[in-house]
Chain A
Amino acid sequence: MCGIVGLFLKNPALQPELGLLTAQMLRVMTERGPDSAGFAVYGGARHGQTKITVRGLVPSDMAAFEKGLLACAGTGVTFLSRDDHTVITVPTEHEKTVRQFIAAFGHGVSFVASGDSIELYKGVGLPEDVATRFNLAGMSGTHAIGHTRMATESAVTTAGAHPFSTGPDQCLVHNGSLSNHNTLRRQLVREGLTFETENDSEVAAGYLSWRLSRGERLDEALTASLADLDGFYTFVVGTRDGFAVLRDPVACKPAVMAETDDYVAFASEYRAFAQLPGIGNATVFEPEPQRVYHWEHA
């Protein structure tokens, strides 16, 4: 069991409430996944700037970290810390050197995600506590994806919490379990990918990133995954401009969607929608198995 939520706003007037609405949905999914939680929030893209989320930066290391960053990216760097996560905004041309600096920094600091608009936070504990630590309710943006985890395939750690990000502005959350993830991980490692955990869902994220890096569209990559991923899954995949949903052919793992003129919402169970505005008049449906559903901002 795990819980998944997603919210894609069509009406820009709702953007200031994205975090609040996502936090409410995430809290309702606690019973499906009480051991850890995480969420990706998309928004605030600025031309020429890249956001990098890192975690594990403690105040005593901050000065050394800042000094090193300034040395490799100059003065155009900004920081925003939320609990043990920090979002660094750097000029895009310096992203590669900054990533190398983060990888080499040590002191328990690890890279989480990067892209034009993605910020990604995750941690161990009850979903409500995780959301509160990062002040999810105060965040705004265009779309968000969240996950509440009940671990089955690997340990309860921050790294093992969802979402997993394995490519620029990409993230994936998963309810289910994959049975061929070790084989697939070895194949992807040979293709040059690296993995942070033993988690099956990270392999699914890596698989999609690998396909996207070869120029495939998201719907093509997801369709290909039906043949290559063996197991149970409902996936929600976030990209810079939207999100996509896919269920395996057996479709044991639940999924329900709600659409109004203002938003498209996804959840493992309907009750996560109960507090969304205008839900009484939403079109509520279950995504069909083996069919890729995809929403994007124009």
Chain B
Amino acid sequence: MSNMQEIDLAECTLRDANSQLQGEDVTGAWVIRNPRGRHALAVGLTAPVDVLVDGQAGYYAAGMNQRANVTINGNAGPGVAENMMSGRVHVSGNASMAAGATGHGGLLVIDGDAGARCGISMKGIDIVVRGSVGHMSAFMAQSGTLVVCGEAGEALGDSLYEAKLFVRGDVKSLGADCEEKEMTPQDLAHLQSLLDRAGITEYPADSFRLYGSARRLYHFHVDNAAAY
């Protein structure tokens, strides 16, 4: 920790802090002190740096992340790691609604619970939640993987495309066109690799269930013509 470069938000502005971290030639390990729930912390990073947000984060923390490894040592507000492209974001506490929304790639790990609409419209991101997720999670999820070690709220995977949803606990209800799938050896291996990368050893991969798209909403169905 001693070679960490420090940014103290009690002494500098958020814009200064983000500017320092957003440079393409920025390197090394950084810590952001006194975040105090501010919005848009460590957003738009493109270099493979390590950033520790030492406290509570507000909206859109680590949004649009590319290549950086961002750790939030606390809770995160709405939209953490939204539209992440690559890299890794780790929340040690809970995340609010829309965690990982529209993410294209990278890994988001939440040690606590995530709120409503976790992984909404995800497009390739992998999300691992050690706790539970709220209602409408993975709504319109297109690709990528959502792993939930706890429970899922109402309408999981509504209007789902080809994302894979692994849930260990109860699912309150499935959304339109989401159904339970048979788990193949490839699915199990993929889940195991995500659990390994998230540092989760206490839950065996075969204790999860897999949910995916029933593919009934993909195409226009002639029987519905009268509805238009």
List the interface of chain A (C-beta within 8 A of B).
250-252, 254, 256, 269-274, 284-286, 288-289
Contacts and interface: CB of A to CB of B under 8 A. Distances in A.
A250 B135 CA distance: 8
B94 interface: yes
Contact of B77 (A252, A270, A288): A270
B37 interface: yes
Interface string B123-139: 00000000000110000
Given A284-B75, A286-B94, A289-B135, A269 B37 contact: yes
Main secondary structure of the interface of A (DSSP, over half): loop
Contact of B75 (A251, A254, A270, A289): A270
A270 B116 CA distance: 17
A273 B78 contact: no
B71 interface: no
Contacts of A251: 97, 115-116, 134-135
By size class, the interface of chain B is 10 to 19
B38 interface: yes
Nearest to B59: A269
B104 to A, nearest CB: 24
Nearest to B55: A280
Nearest to B75: A284
A254 B37 contact: no
Contact of A271 (B37, B97, B115): B37
A41 B115 CA distance: 31
B36 interface: yes
Nearest to A284: B75
A161 to B, nearest CB: 25
Nearest to A247: B116
Given A251-B97, A270-B77, A286 B37 contact: no
A220 B202 CA distance: 42
B96 A274 contact: no
A271 B135 contact: no
B142 interface: no
B119 interface: no
Contacts of A284: 56, 75, 93-94
Contacts of B75: 270, 284
Contacts of A270: 37, 56, 58, 75, 77
Contacts of B38: 271
Given A269-B37, A271-B37, A289-B135, A254 B94 contact: no
A269 B58 contact: yes
B224 to A, nearest CB: 26
A103 B147 CA distance: 61
Contacts of A256: 77, 96
A274 B135 contact: no
A260 to B, nearest CB: 15
Identify the interface centre among A273, A284, A285, A286: most chain B CB within 10 Å of its CB: A286
A285 B38 CA distance: 17
A288 B115 CA distance: 9
Given A254-B78, A270-B56, A271-B58, A285 B36 contact: no
Contact of A286 (B58, B59, B96, B135): B96
Contacts of B116: 250-251, 289
Looking at A252, A274, A288, which has the most chain B CB atoms within 10 Å of its CB? A274
Interface in B170-215: none
Max chain B Cβ within 10 angstroms of own Cβ: one of A251, A252, A271, A272: A271
A284 B57 CA distance: 13
B37 A274 contact: yes
Nearest to B58: A271
